[in-house]
Amino acid sequence: VPDIVGDLNCDGAVNLFDVDPFVLALTSATHVPPFDDYTAAFPQCDPYKADVDDDGEVTLFDVDAFVALLTGK
């Protein structure tokens, strides 16, 4: 699977099918252990692909960057 930032369902493309997995990564980032819900649903994927603003963390600050990635802006 290519390492594409924003490709949260790991299908090789960033598109609307990544929205729900992005939300799952975002909402489970602070769980203990981190990303437990995301990795249960997408065990083959890296949850840090949701770190779209590239600051090393998956937080609400990634939302605007993710939307920009989806819309090409």
pTM assigned to the model: 0.94
Do the Cβ atoms of 70 and 6 come closer than 8 Å?
Answer: yes
Across residues 8-20, what is the average pLDDT? 97
pLDDT tens profile 22-59: 999 999 999 999 999 999 999 999 999 999 999 999 99
Residue 2 clears pLDDT 90, i.e. is over it: no
Residue 15 clears pLDDT 80, i.e. is over it: yes
Do the Cβ atoms of 58 and 49 come closer than 8 Å?
Answer: no
